[in-house]
Amino acid sequence: MELLRKWLGHPEDIYNLLRFKMGGYRAVMPRMDTDSLGCGLRTCYRYLNQTSRSFAAVIQALDGELRHAVCIFYLVLRALDTVEDDMSIPLDVKVPMLHEFHSYLYQPNWKYTESKEKDRQVLEDFPTISMEFRNLSKVYQDVISDICHKMGVGMAEFLEKKVDSLSEWDKYCHYVAGLVGIGLSRLFSASELEDSIVGQDTHLANSMGLFLQKTNIIRDYLEDQLEGREFWPREVWSRYAKKLSDLAKPENIDVAVQCLNELITNALHHVPDVLTYLSRLKNQSVFNFCAIPQVMAIATLAACYNNKQVFKGVVKIRKGQAVTLMMDATNIQAVKAIMYQYVEEIYQKIPSTDPSSNKTQQVIASIRAMSLPGSPMASRHHYSPIYVSCAMLLAALSWQYLSTLSQATEEYVQAGDN
């Protein structure tokens, strides 16, 4: 019944959950025909689905040959990331592997069979992935190899180094996510589905990755603490506590929230770049691929802002909210309206005593200036009384059925891996 009460307060969620479950998701993620693919590519798409259902859905919705290039790009970086994450690999083995990983793309028989990680299949069967990499056009190979090389070097740099300054935070996020944004942008342009400026403007592409990565780092404070990882920058948290772990102590909750708000304010500075980047995209499948994670991120930050729960458990957006975002974020005016909605939500929660309040208000003002609602999408959450009544009835009849929403959507709700 608690689930039902939540839905009654958000009738648009009920409608969109039904619409999504009854086939609306195909407008965002059309089904891909794998029967015509060769054995190697079919294997790669199987690994894609096994390692990331959420990314698999949007990757398989991309148009033309770009779909295969992005699939292989994802699997190569997943393999690289698996090496970085595997704590059973000694540093004297891991560091050279990270530095040289890009060269393995051109070694048909290279594989690694000693990993203990859950995604180890991408290392154990790397010959299949590297074969399909070499089957791509050279323009795609060059992008993937270059990004893999730069990312491997960056990962090795931070293996034994904690994130201290804000500039190092940006640098770490660049290595693990900004480079992904740059690589994807270069692939978009190489496919000729997007203009060359999309791949050339590395600043905007980097911001796309940084916004997602910082959102994940902020949201995952407690999970990372429990697993012995620290990604919040010392330059910020040291003003609020002696140790980063101290922020989770109940007696420190007030300063912990202030630290949280400062980091969210930092992340919000990337939103204007995100809007500029998205406004340049022409291809619908590329736009959906890029826009969906970004609106999930702004919704997640709005849920986390000034929220003590970040230090007590998991903060995530509602299932119906996630589905609504997925189905709405299909054009730049809609995305601007979504961004406007969530920064307004943050603005309403800014405590007057918060040390970062002025900075938060300033960055929100800059986002408002770019995303003032002027389209019908801006009022998409206004519903007539009769609609609300019908939605409440639908909720009463179908709430249990809808709780079985697909795993792909569930991963998106949790702001998935980016």
From the candidates 289, 311, 342, 412, give the one annotated as an active-site residue: 289
Q: Tokens for 396, please give them.
A: 């009463």
Q: Is 172 a catalytic residue?
A: yes
From the candidates 25, 45, 172, 287, give the one annotated as an active-site residue: 172
Alpha-helical runs (H) found in 136-201: 138-157, 166-173, 179-190, 196-200
Rounded to the nearest 10°, the torsion over CA 150, 156, 157, 162 is 130
Amino acid at residue number 58: V
Tell me if 211 sits within 8 A of 271, measured CB to CB.
Answer: yes
**Local structure of residue 270 (DSSP, 8 states):** T
Q: Could you tell me which of 225, 402, 369 has the C-alpha nearest to residue 311? A: 225
Residues 6+ apart with CB under 8 A from 379: 373
Rounded-to-integer distance, Cα 273 and Cα 203, Å: 8
Q: Is 289 a catalytic residue?
A: yes
From the candidates 67, 78, 219, 318, give the one annotated as an active-site residue: 219
Q: Is 229 a catalytic residue?
A: yes
Alpha-helical runs (H) found in 238-384: 253-268, 271-279, 284-304, 319-328, 332-348, 357-371
Rounded-to-integer distance, Cα 391 and Cα 17, Å: 11
Tell me if 217 sits within 8 A of 232, measured CB to CB.
Answer: yes
Q: Collapse the DSSP code of 213 into the 3-class scheme (helix H, G, I; strand E, B; otherwise coil) and give the result.
A: helix
Rounded-to-integer distance, Cα 246 and Cα 231, Å: 15
Distance of CA 183 to the CA centre of its chain: 15
Tell me if 35 sits within 8 A of 416, measured CB to CB.
Answer: no
Tell me if 215 sits within 8 A of 415, measured CB to CB.
Answer: yes
Token look-up 């609300």 returns 388
Q: Is 340 a catalytic residue?
A: no
Tell me if 417 sits within 8 A of 50, measured CB to CB.
Answer: no
Rounded-to-integer distance, Cα 151 and Cα 80, Å: 9
Q: Could you tell me which of 403, 343, 377 has the C-alpha nearest to residue 6? A: 403
- Catalytic annotation, residues: 172, 219, 229, 289
